Amino acid sequence: MSGKITRVSLDTVFESDETDWARLDAMTEDDIERAIEGDPEWAAFNDVSDLQKRAGFSLFRGPDDQWRWLLSDQSGLVIGQSTVAYRYKGDAIAAVRDLFENISKAA
């Protein structure tokens, strides 16, 4: 084995941490969503317009501050809704994508 192993204590690891934990802990869910809007890796998860065009999916935040999805037909009649509440918008979007994937496999 030619690799060099370097051991450090946890105290040393935390000394080199540049994360502003107080600022991060103080951030709300909306603050976090605004902070990641410009991240190109997040863009694919944040864009549901294609899904909405194809099947009338919409996302909403309920009175409990949890995200849910609705599926409506062309007349606006709700024909499906999530039975699970999601803490994060990205999780609700991922659930919609999983639903589409399962539907396409069943077809």
Kindly give the confidence (pLDDT) of every residue in the chain, 107 residues in length, as a single tens digit, with 9 standing for 90 and above: 566 776 666 666 555 667 787 888 898 878 877 777 767 666 655 555 554 555 578 888 888 899 998 888 777 778 888 999 999 988 998 898 888 888 778 76
| 3 domain-assigned | no
* Identity of the residue numbered 104: S
- Please count the CA atoms within 13 angstroms of the CA of 45 that sit on its side-chain side: 16
Tokens of 24: 């991060």
Whether residue 4 lies inside any domain: the answer is no
Q: 61: domain CATH number? A: 2.30.29
In a domain, 1, yes or no: no
Q: Is-above-0.75 flag for pTM?
A: no
